[in-house]
Structure 1
Amino acid sequence: MTADNGTAKGQAAPTVRARSLAWRRRRDAAARFWRQYRGHRAGVFGLAALLLFAVPALAAPLLVGSDVADVTDAPGGPLEDPSARFPFGTDRFGRNLLGLVIWGARVSLLVGLLAAVLSVAIGTLIGVTAGHFKGWYATVVMRITDWFLVMPTLVLAIALATVMPRSLLTIVVAIGVTTWPTTARLVRAQTLAVETRPYIERARALGGGHRHIMARHVLPNVMPLVLAQTTLIISSAILAEATLAFLGLGDPTVVSWGALLQDAREAGAVSSGHWWYLVPPGVAIAVVALAFTLCGRAVEQVSNPRLGVSR
């Protein structure tokens, strides 16, 4: 029994050391990434802008309350000018527009993030498998990808949002399943480059199967590209969500930046000169989309330093 316990402890010790070494390497890689990221001023500015919107959005129930969108108990009168009480004025129902913008950030950021994750997940799966298996499978899949590329993304999203129930899930699916082709193309190209490296041949010679090669060798090498692509697609997804909501295809019971723009259009804010109804949600959409783009470019340059040299 003592010998068995000693053997078990002897076998467990290398496993613990290996896990500790792996975690230390991950921490060192994260610290190295952050040091390089801080060298990109535009990326730091984009990250600061995102925090400026994300923190109030997360704390929205505490800052503005969950009843900010209630039209039956609005605190002000319809379309009041900006004042000390209402810094952004009020909407056509008398609701505090600043509170609506803060609450709408929760929806717009969440939809943009989920839609981008869905889009990148589909594109990564298709790109990795098409680059690995090649042959007739890659030909068929990439022809489908080309068809999605030449089709107007917004038109496809509008068509899906029209035939599906009006909800946030519909918006996420409509954006996610129409914006993946670019990611698929980029990931496939990176997969083809990775699979020409000698260690892939060694893995095959040692008996590594398709799943092992794609999961252990290909996917880790394409993840920096996937991360950069995710941050870039989030900005496009936020713009797409705002567009669909502005066209009346979003969830009418949910407050988002696009829905606020739609309300402003229906209230005639443009013709009546109520600029405060349009400017805050419009500026918020533009700033967040720009911030995600700046972060994505910085991540892309950190992941591939040659891009910074070529530019």
Structure 2
Amino acid sequence: MKTKRRVIPWQRALALGWLGLVGALGVFAPCLPLPYLPATSDALSLSTPPQLGSAVAAAHWLGTDALGRDVLTELVYGCRTLLLVSLPATLLLTAVGMALGSVAGYYAVSRLRWAKAYWVALALWLVCTLAYAPLLGAGNAAAYLQWLLALGIGTVLAFLLRSFSWGRQPAAFPIDSLVLGSAALLGSVPRLILVLTVAAILPLSFVSMPLLLGLTCWPGMMRLVRAEALRIRELPYLEAARALGLPDSRIVSRHVLPGLWPVVRAAFPLYLTLIVTTETTISFLGVGLPAETASWGHLLSSARLAPGNWWLIVFPGFSLVCTIISLRFLTQKQVFSASTPK
């Protein structure tokens, strides 16, 4: 029996090809035979136009900026910065959105009931995490050890309280109202203003930058996941699982979370686009990663020093637009495939 060969549309193949090229350049940037290193100034070639037809090995093929930095090298290492910031931030907001959205959607009608010992430990974990968040973002090694020690103390305290009857008593908690309220509070401040404010106060690195973007962009993903969890919760097989007496943790992990995967898969490129544009914007404004870090936003920002250097706008702008269009096209394809009945 002959099987039909799946044909990928040329638009999607082109989008995947461009994203694959950006990913490959980001991964193998240190191994590429580039004639110049990133953040290296060539004092003899300030604001040099592109030399595409030059046969010299050390020629600036895409030109230089006003400080003599090679545009081609900055573009290639900008792909690496894009991967190191955008992918971890998108994975973080997806994990937070899935965790909060699935729990809030499943327990929207019946409140979450846990032992009081667990609530005390969770409160201690949250307080310690918020207290050490600025130090963790700055990469303080001692703060990591103190934070892990505080988490361990909270875990031991939970086991100790479980030995008393008070700690074993279940307590209801309005998790749905708390999650929706937190998302509304976070959404009441414009995201870009919030990110710029935190970035101007705290020093940003390849650790703190994904944390900042991921922890400020999760409400949208959470709402999508919560809406899908509300729909899945009322399906007949979940009612049968609850009637059989299966614990809620097993129902959520074995049945609710797998059902959320099509929505998350469709929304992932959309939020990756959001993270890419946000990172480029704050780098363009000069409050993102350090100025010596290669970034498309920094390259676009360097055009302000020399407005006549068109290549400082065309090449990074073309790369950014192609990346956004490719991600948007994949988002449309994922939404169409997720909404099509099988």
The TM-score bracket by the shorter chain reads 0.7 to 0.9
Equivalent in the alignment of 1:86: 60
Q: What does residue 59 of structure 1 align with?
A: 28
Describe the superposition over 1:96-124 as per-residue Cα deviations: whole angstroms up to 9, x where unpaired.
21121011111013311111111111111
Matches of 2:331 and 2:85, distance apart in 1: 18
Q: Which runs of 5+ in 1 are unaligned?
A: 1-31, 307-311
Alignment check: 8 A CA contact 1:228 1:296 kept? yes
Cα deviation, residue 178, structure 1:
1.4
Contact (CA 8 Å) 1:244, 1:258: kept in 2 or not?
Answer: yes
Higher helix share: 1
Alignment partner, residue 205 of structure 1: 243
Shift of 1:67: 5.7
Q: Please state how far the C-alpha of 1:39 moved relative to its aligned partner.
A: 4.8
Distance in structure 1 (CA, Å) of the matches to 2:199 and 2:180 = 25
Partners of 1:294 and 1:282 lie apart in 2 by 18
1:234 positional shift: 0.7
**Paired AA for residue 77 in structure 2:** W
Match of 1:99 in 2: 73
**Offset at residue 145 of structure 1 (A):** 1.3
- Tell me how many residue pairs correspond in the alignment: 268
Per mean C-alpha deviation after superposition, the further-off stretch among 158-167 and 179-188 is 158-167
Greater Cα shift, 134-143 or 214-223? 134-143
CA–CA distance in 1 between the matches of 2:186 and 2:318? 30
The answer (yes or no) to whether the contact 2:296–2:316 under 8 Å persists in 1 is: yes
Task: Say which is worse superposed, 256-265 or 114-123, in terms of deviation.
Answer: 256-265
Higher mean C-alpha displacement, 76-85 vs 121-130? 76-85
Task: Give the TM-score, by structure 2 length.
Answer: 0.73
* 3-state DSSP of counterpart to 2:245: coil
User: Alpha carbons of 1:123 and 1:76: their partners in 2 closer, same or farther (altered >3 Å)?
Assistant: farther
Secondary structure of the 1:168 match is coil
Residue matched to 1:277:
312
Within 5 A, what are the aligned runs for 1:10-21? none
1:234-265: CA deviation from partner (whole Å, max 9, x where unpaired): 11101100111111112223111112122232
Once residues 70 and 162 of structure 1 are traced to their aligned partners in structure 2, the CA distance between those partners, rounded to angstroms, is: 22
2:123 aligns with none
The aligned amino acid for 2:233 is E
Alpha carbons of structure 1 residues 97 and 64: separation in structure 2 relative to 1, 3 Å = farther
- C-alpha RMSD over aligned residues: 2.3
Q: Is the 8 A contact 1:120 1:229 kept in 2?
A: no
Whether 1:163 and 2:137 are equivalent positions in the alignment is: no
Kept after mapping to 2: 8 A contact 1:119/1:176: yes
Q: CA deviation at 1:65?
A: 4.6
1:110 partnered with 2:79: no
Q: Secondary structure at the match of 1:203?
A: helix
SS at match of 1:47: helix
Does structure 2 retain, via aligned residues, the 8 Å contact 1:111–1:172?
yes
Q: CA deviation at 1:75?
A: 8.5
Structure-2 separation of matches of 1:186 and 1:138: 14
* Separation in structure 2 between the aligned mates of residue 179 and residue 240 of structure 1, nearest angstrom: 10
Post-superposition Cα deviations, 1:212-255, rounded to whole Å, max 9, x if no partner, equal 11110000000111122111111110110011111111222311
Distance 2:284 2:101 in 1: 33
Query: What per-residue deviation string (whole Å, max 9, x for no partner) do you get for residues 247-289 of structure 1?
Result: 1112223111112122232x2x22xx11012221122111111
Output the CA distance in 1 between the equivalents of 2:310 and 2:195. 29
Name 2:164's counterpart in structure 1.
none
Q: Which range moves more in the overlay, 185-194 or 157-166?
A: 157-166
Partner of 1:6: none
Matching residue of 1:128: 102
Percent identical pairs in the alignment equals 31
Question: Which residue in 2 is equivalent to 1:261?
Answer: 300
Q: Which moved more, 1:144-153 or 1:239-248?
A: 144-153
Which deviations, in whole Å up to 9, do the C-alpha atoms of 1:43-68 show, x marking residues without a partner? Answer: 33321221232222322222245961
Task: Give, as a single letter, the amino acid of the residue that structure 1 aligns with 2:45.
Answer: G
Cα pair 2:43 2:67 within 8 Å, conserved: no
Residues 276 and 218 from structure 1, CA distance in 2 versus in 1: closer, same or farther, beyond 3 angstroms?
same
> How far, CA to CA, are the matches of 1:259 and 1:223 in structure 2?
35
Listed as ranges, the matches of 1:300-311 within 5 Å are 300-305=335-340
- The alpha-carbon distance between structure 1 residues 86 and 71, as it changes in their structure 2 partners (threshold 3 A), is closer
